Structure 1
Amino acid sequence: MSDRLIIERWNQNSAPWTSAVREGRIESRVRVTDAAIVDAIMQRKPGSVLDIGCGEGWLARALSALDVDVLGIDVVPALIESARQAKGGRYAVISQEELARGAAAERFDVCVCNFSLLGGDVVEHLIAGIHRYINPGGAFIVQTLHPGSIGGGAEYRDGWREGSWAGIDAAFSEPAPWYFRTLQTWVSLYRKAGLRIEALQETTHPDTHALLSIILVGAPERATLLDTTAP
């Protein structure tokens, strides 16, 4: 398992993923998590947003409809092409590794990662340098699978996990692996990057009350904002 394998598998599954999102085949997103991330972003009243790992562009379209200037980036060219065809927002093929090295020239009121931080080292590098893309008074927002939702006797510790398309009715090939992090690790990554956690939201299924996701909202400390060096 590796960051590179994640990219390979998402390149293979871009078409069925686009269909699954646009046809509303992922219940948790339709009923809970899509609205939750839009609400978390709009509470900041942003004029501009960087959507990191934007996929086929649903979030960028939703925010653009609310008069927010959005740049959506993703490493998968087919997903970016699908997003461009659907319009609503600006789009570019940029990987998280490239972004961590300073590939984007703009700053934004909000930088958001919605279920897109799946990797190992690349995620740590990205978060460590995210302050360079955030305007003063801005925020970095992450929605990710709730660490407490992992059942089946899985060990509660950081490490690579096998992926799954369970619960999605679409013709996927092999799923991408992902790197599991405990809640303590997510908090630690924010703190190491000089991000002050201003909000932590947990979402649950409206019927079963099962844990779905966490949303972390962090704002750069002033000293971090002034530091424009690479991580």
Structure 2
Amino acid sequence: MGDGTSEALILDAWHANAQAWESAVREGRIESRRLVTDQAIVDTVLSQSPCTVIDVGCGEGWLARALTAQGIDVLGVDAIPSLVEAARAKGGGEFRVVSYEDMATGALTERADVVVCNFSLLGGASVDALLAAVPSLLEPGGVLAIQTLHPLMAGVEPYVDGWREGSWVGCGEGFSQPAPWYFRTLGSWVTAIQMAGLTLLAIKEPIHPHTGRPASAIFVAGARQGNGDEQTSRRSVSRHRTE
């Protein structure tokens, strides 16, 4: 299965399972999220004291709502229209349908203090292209925050980069075909971040209280000095909304 085919299958699976996913999130079915990872990414973003956030792969908008409740101006983007519609219906931010490919080619003209990707980077080449666009989305001093499945806890053998079959185990009922995903080792994540013109600032490993093992990995990175300078005329999220 080639990279392009796998990338397309990710979108197909999310189109097919959007309603089931919305229900799983709304009903708090996923234990690791309920116990660890939701609060971990909220805390990571709040630790930066941002005024503006772009939530990439926002899904049905739970993170945007949590951050908006803290007085932060949030723009949520997702490639799945039904999830964006669900997010808009609940409010708590501005939401748009934008694909990762469109973001990689400059579809967003906003900047933010934090760009956050919470379990939303599943692809291979599409993710690399998106990461390369992140410096142009960050305000000076801004950071990228990525939360993903911890590579050492994914149960993947051999421990090498590559496409893997997905699963909805632990998400409850109502799901159909799972989305494939591109597995990256810990070192490969670091390399991908650096290749995008970003400097890795921290790696966090939130611990699951029941297993004592990492429930996820969180990468925090900032743009290297000089990156994105040609984009200084871009408007920030907050300025965009006051014009």
CA distance in 2, matches of 1:144, 1:48: 22
| Structure 2 SS opposite 1:97 | helix
For the residue of structure 2 that corresponds to 1:176, the secondary structure is coil
Separation of aligned partners in 2, 1:6 and 1:221: 31
Which residue does the alignment assign to 2:167?
A: 164
Counterpart Cα distance in 2 of 1:26 and 1:123: 24
Residue type matched to 2:224 in 1?
E
C-alpha distance in structure 1 between counterparts of 2:173 and 2:213, whole Å: 23
- 2:180 is aligned to 177
Percent identity reads: 52
Rounded to whole Å, the distance in 2 between the matches of 1:9 and 1:116 is: 13
Partners of 1:169 and 1:186 lie apart in 2 by: 29
Aligned residue in 2 for 1:90: 94
Letter in 2 for 1:80: V
Deviation at 1:123, TM superposition (A): 0.2
Which residue among 143, 153, 173 is the counterpart of 1:149?
153
State the superposition RMSD in angstroms: 1.2
Match for residue 56 of structure 2 among 48, 52, 58: 52
**Bigger CA drift: 137-146 or 218-227?**
218-227
Is 1:202 matched with 2:205?
Answer: yes
Q: Deviations over 1:184-220 (max 9, x none)?
A: 0110111112211111100221011122210000011
Q: C-alpha displacement at 1:71, in angstroms?
A: 0.4
Runs of 4+ aligned structure 1 residues displaced above 2 Å come to none
The offset of 1:92, in angstroms, is 0.1
CA distance in 2, matches of 1:69, 1:150: 34
Shift of the 227–186 alpha-carbon distance from structure 1 to 2, 3 Å rule, reads farther
Q: C-alpha distance in 1, partners of 2:125/2:115?
A: 19
Q: 2:24 is matched with which residue?
A: 20
Could you state the TM-score of these two structures normalised by the residue count of structure 1?
A: 0.96
Aligned residues: 228
Which residue type is aligned with residue 160 of structure 1? W
Query: 1:35 matched to which residue of 2?
Result: 39
Query: Hey, what does 1:212 align to over in structure 2?
Result: 215
**Alpha-carbon distance between aligned partners in 2 of 1:135 and 1:167, rounded to the nearest angstrom:** 37
Residue type of the alignment partner of 2:125: D
**Match in the other structure for 1:73:** 77
Gapped regions of structure 2 (runs ≥ 5): 233-243
Q: Does the 8 Å CA contact 1:49/1:111 hold for their aligned counterparts?
A: yes
Code of the residue aligned with 1:84 in structure 2: it is R
1:114 matched residue in structure 2: 118
Partner amino acid, structure 1, of 2:203 = L
Query: How far apart, CA to CA, are the structure 2 residues paired with 1:140 and 1:4?
Result: 25
- Structure 1 residue ranges without an equivalent (≥5): none
Q: Distance in 1 between matches of 2:70 and 2:178?
A: 33
Q: For 2:223 and 2:94, how far apart are their aligned partners in 1?
A: 25
With normalisation by structure 2, the TM-score equals: 0.91
Aligned equivalents of 2:213, 2:168: Cα separation in 1: 18
Which residue does 1:125 correspond to in 2?
Answer: 129
